Amino acid sequence: MVENHKTYLNAGLAMMMGLLNFDKQFVRAEGVYVWDSDGNRYLDFLGSYGALNLGHNHPRILAALDRVKELPNLLQASLGTLPAALAKNLAVITPGNLQRSFFCNSGAEAVEGAIKLARAATGRPEVVYCDGSFHGKTMGALSATGREKYQKPFRPLLPGFSPVPFGNLDALEAKLKEKTAAAFIVEPIQGEGGIIIPPDGYLAGVRQLCSRYGTLLIVDEVQTGLGRTGRMFACQYEEVTPDIMCLAKSLGGGIMPIGTYITTDETWKKAYGGMDRALLHTSTFGGNTWAAAAAIATLEVLYEENLPEKARENGEYLLSALLGLKEKYPLIKDVRGRGLMAGIEFSQPGGLAAKASFGLVNKLSEEYLGSMVAGELLNKHRIITAFTLNNPNIIRLEPPLNVTREQIDILLDALEDIFSSHKGLFSMAAAS
């Protein structure tokens, strides 16, 4: 019996699970599976929001950590051999001449570092970001996060940050002309924002505009990177090389916390070249031995198990099956995705019918089909997904990249069961 200490936690996610009427604790995990304290097995189709591209507790990561047990855990990355090897491997696998890595402990820190690097390299203060974006919740990253809900309680944020609509090149060009910005920061696909995919050619157009106006392009691949979208990096779909790329989440194999930004030698030197500038941005635990060992093994596994390609193939299979469900059930407003980063969006069902049918009793479930479906997937079918906070009518799917066709079929059968068992609810015409 696991004692329940949750009330001592300051845990927003525990609250979210509460909204899904889930009160169990997870005690064991392996691959795509997680077990609760009653011994029930769950399929993890959320993968810690894209942090588990390799699945839970991948044996190669555990073995890599075992091997470094006796190495000094140097907390100044530049003194360790493993961080240097990791930096070299990242330089090899990232596009273009990205070759200087700065290691830290999370996605938000990678973004903080990227913003500081851009300001220091250009001498310009302005940063442009996208509406609906998500780059993390520390003050600098939050200043570039285009979400009123997350920003509002913490104002004033950093000066010099201005938003543009996501996916719109004209608006970006007007802003870059007006602001002479240090950087434009963008996600190739907005993940937290609800799996929003920009029009084809957007990122390539962004690259051209940034080059034209001398603005550094920061591509935030914290969620899309490391195979998630079916290529090693999502920016490779449009053959774009950013000036700065941010990575985190899956980089530590889902076990060790590690984030990084990678930039060119030229940008790096402009910002931090010379002894007087060398220590302007550092982090004690950044690139420590354990995190670096996990990350080196992660990159090896991604290639050896061919995970980006698997994500592409299985992502196509998943998306076409979801499109089939959309044809059949009009209350599915949209399905979208690339690789194994997918979203299902529902229309508002007209509250009462859905409430009566699902019979859940919390505030969100009275109003949003997405949260109702996620709740039933979890509690009835034992499949972990999540709804997005800015629109709980959207469900996010980001399973480990080694998920099998059979496991995807289990999810699809569960969705079909939910859509067909609610007495015609999902076949209703959408309200709008």
Region for residue 259 given its phi and psi (left: phi exceeds 0; alpha: psi -120 to 50; beta: otherwise): beta
CB 220 to ligand PMP: min, Å: 5
CB atoms within 10 A of CB 132: 19
**Is 346 an annotated catalytic residue?**
no
Listed ranges 23-31, 40-48, 107-115, 211-219: which one lies at the site for ligand PMP (CB under 6 A) = 107-115
Please give the DSSP secondary-structure letter assigned to residue 394.
Answer: E
H or E segment and range at residue 216: strand 216-220
Nearer to ligand PMP, 44 or 192 (CB): 192
CA-based end-to-end distance of the chain: 48
Please give the DSSP secondary-structure letter assigned to residue 146.
Answer: B
Question: If binding is defined by CB under 6 A, does position 360 make contact with ligand PMP?
Answer: no
**Residue choice 80, 83, 113, 136 for contact with ligand PMP (CB under 6 A):** 136
Nearer to ligand PMP, 106 or 365 (CB): 106
Alpha carbon of residue 226 to chain centroid: 11
Number of residues binding to ligand PMP, judged by CB under 6 A? 15
Q: Which residue out of 45, 249, 310, 358 is catalytically annotated?
A: 249
CB 140 to ligand PMP: min, Å: 11
Instruction: List residues bridging with 397 in a β-sheet.
Output: 342
Mask: binding to ligand PMP, 207-226, rule CB under 6 A, as x and -? -------------x-xx---
Residue identified by tokens 């140097």 is 74
- Closest residue to ligand PMP, judged by C-beta, is 107
Which of 94, 93, 73 shows the shortest CA–CA distance to 83? 73
**Is 137 an annotated catalytic residue?**
no
Question: If binding is defined by CB under 6 A, does position 107 make contact with ligand PMP?
Answer: yes
Q: Distance of CA 81 to CAs 107, 194, 289, Å?
A: 23, 39, 8
CB atoms within 10 A of CB 286: 24
Nearer to ligand PMP, 150 or 213 (CB): 150
Question: If binding is defined by CB under 6 A, does position 129 make contact with ligand PMP?
Answer: no
Residues 226-265 that bind ligand PMP (CB under 6 A): 248
Nearer to ligand PMP, 135 or 175 (CB): 135
Alpha carbon dihedral 190, 195, 198, 202, in 10-degree steps, equals 40
* Helix axes of 405-421 and 307-328: crossing angle, nearest 10 degrees: 20
CB 110 to ligand PMP: min, Å: 7
Question: If binding is defined by CB under 6 A, does position 308 make contact with ligand PMP?
Answer: no
Q: Which residue out of 134, 161, 166, 184 is catalytically annotated?
A: 134
Question: If binding is defined by CB under 6 A, does position 108 make contact with ligand PMP?
Answer: yes
219 contacts: CB under 8 Å, gap ≥ 6: 185, 186, 187, 188, 203, 233, 235, 240, 242, 244, 245, 246
**Is 161 an annotated catalytic residue?**
no
Nearer to ligand PMP, 44 or 376 (CB): 44
Question: If binding is defined by CB under 6 A, does position 393 make contact with ligand PMP?
Answer: no
Nearer to ligand PMP, 203 or 248 (CB): 248
**Residue choice 80, 113, 140, 191 for contact with ligand PMP (CB under 6 A):** 191
- Asked if residue 59 lies in contact with residue 83, where contact means CB atoms within 8 angstroms, the answer is no
**Residue choice 35, 49, 213, 317 for contact with ligand PMP (CB under 6 A):** 49
393 contacts: CB under 8 Å, gap ≥ 6: 333, 345, 346, 347, 348, 368, 369, 370, 371, 387
Q: Which residue out of 103, 116, 184, 220 is catalytically annotated?
A: 220
**Residue choice 45, 102, 103, 134 for contact with ligand PMP (CB under 6 A):** 134
CB atoms within 10 A of CB 339: 28
CB 388 to ligand PMP: min, Å: 11
**Structural tokens at position 128:** 């442009």
Nearer to ligand PMP, 107 or 337 (CB): 107
List residues with catalytic annotation: 134, 220, 249
What is the contact surface with ligand PMP in residues (CB under 6 A)?
49, 106-108, 111, 134-136, 187, 191-192, 220, 222-223, 248
